[in-house]
């Protein structure tokens, strides 16, 4: 029986995760999947309970599971903590502990939500992008890192490091994904000013030689940010390092109308981790206002990539589309003429649509 580690985390994490587990249970019943769920602590909730953002018990649970469903971490309550014990560090350390080096973030415009995008219909209609982000290297992890005092004041250092091996394996993920899509990869870097980007561009070019059926283009990160707004339909698969991938995938989220709509999968050599792209949104936590669709769509990715059940994944995605087509919206995507509903109600409606098929 596949075991799913559930890490609700902080803020709205527990709310959206609860609705996602509800949907997964319906999927399990419909497709005869005997899923087992076990909760663990991560982030601020883990700090409160154990003093650590990533308890050893959580690491054990994740390594023993077939997939991980994660909510969100962080909040003002823990902002004053030092970097090594902040909630976000727990997630970063878990990614590294499981060698989850590839983050897949699809950004697809739903037909029912075109008018929710801040961009014109003609610009976004039909946009379907997959951002492949390197997840456990680069400036977020490099050493030395920190703030030190000098006679002239404080001095802060962040170090960006990439190796040939790290770039090659994430490029392989991007090209493999492109083979199943529209066969185009846009590699994002700043090779005009950064040594790591020079290496990145060269290695990606070498990997591309093994994929002659895939078109490769290189694009500077600032230009890519502009092009995403100007003409998002030009992109198929975007592959980027940890920093650029983080920024560009959040920008892609707004193209589709709300960051509350974007799922993600973190894959590598360990147990796959699935999470909504959005943060913990402490300002609306506990108010039954959060959009659970990104978390629910992350569960669809879990079914597809970790449980190898594409039929169930597509059924979840169709259920989400059906509910949106019926005009139901959480507050972040509500518009005149739509039916605004709560977090729990959205979860119920998706589960009902999934059960009906």
- Residues belonging to the active site: 140, 190, 222, 246, 250
CA separation for the pair 186, 245 (Å, rounded): 12
- Nearest Cα to Cα of residue 224 among 209, 210, 202, 243: 243
Distance from C-alpha of 203 to C-alpha of 199, rounded to nearest angstrom = 6
Contact 236, 184 (CB under 8 A): yes
221: nearest Cα among 207, 236, 200, 202: 200
* Neighbouring residues of 20: CB distance < 8 A, sequence distance ≥ 6: 69, 292, 295, 296, 298, 299, 347
- Per-position DSSP letters for 105-163, written without gaps between them: EEEE--GGGGGGSSS-HHHHTT-EEEEEEE-SSGGGTEEEEEEEEETTEEEEEEE----
Residue 185 CA to its chain's centroid (Å) = 19
Q: Kindly state the tokens that stand for 232.
A: 């998002």
3-state secondary structure of 36: strand
Question: What is residue 292's three-state secondary structure?
Answer: coil
215 Cβ contact partners less than 8 Å away, ≥ 6 residues apart: 183, 184, 185
């Amino acid at each position: 029986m596949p075991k799913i580690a559930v890490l609700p985390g902080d803020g709205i994490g527990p709310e959206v995760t609860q609705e996602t587990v509800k949907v997964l249970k319906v999927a399990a019943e419909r497709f005869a999947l005997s899923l087992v769920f076990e909760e663990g602590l991560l982030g601020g909730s883990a700090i409160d309970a154990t003093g650590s953002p990533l308890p050893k018990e959580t690491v054990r649970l994740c390594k023993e599971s077939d997939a991980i469903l994660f909510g969100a971490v962080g909040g003002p309550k823990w902002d004053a903590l030092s970097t090594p014990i902040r909630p976000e560090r727990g997630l970063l350390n878990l990614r590294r502990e499981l060698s989850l080096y590839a983050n897949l973030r699809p950004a697809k415009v739903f037909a029912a939500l075109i008018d929710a995008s801040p961009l014109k219909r003609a610009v976004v209609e039909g946009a379907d992008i997959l951002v492949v982000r390197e997840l456990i290297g680069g400036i977020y992890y490099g050493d030395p890192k920190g703030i030190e005092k000098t006679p002239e004041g404080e001095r802060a250092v962040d170090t960006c490091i990439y190796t040939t091996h790290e770039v090659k394996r994430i490029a392989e993920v991007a090209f493999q994904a492109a083979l199943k899509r529209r066969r185009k990869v846009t590699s994002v870097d700043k090779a005009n000013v950064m040594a790591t980007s020079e290496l990145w561009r060269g290695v990606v070019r070498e990997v591309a030689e093994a994929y002659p059926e895939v078109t490769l283009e290189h694009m500077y990160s600032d230009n890519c940010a502009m092009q995403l707004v100007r003409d998002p339909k030009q992109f198929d698969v975007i592959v980027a390092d940890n920093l650029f991938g983080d920024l560009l995938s959040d920008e892609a989220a707004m193209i589709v109308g709300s960051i509350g709509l974007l799922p993600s999968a973190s894959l590598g050599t360990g147990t796959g981790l699935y999470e909504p792209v959005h943060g913990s949104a402490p300002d609306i936590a506990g108010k039954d206002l959060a959009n659970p669709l990104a978390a629910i769509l992350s569960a669809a990715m879990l079914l597809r990539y970790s449980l190898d059940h594409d039929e169930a994944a597509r059924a979840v995605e169709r259920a989400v589309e059906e509910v949106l087509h019926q005009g139901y919206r959480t507050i972040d995507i509500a518009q005149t003429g739509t039916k605004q509903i709560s977090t729990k109600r959205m979860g119920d409606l998706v589960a009902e649509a999934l059960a009906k098929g």
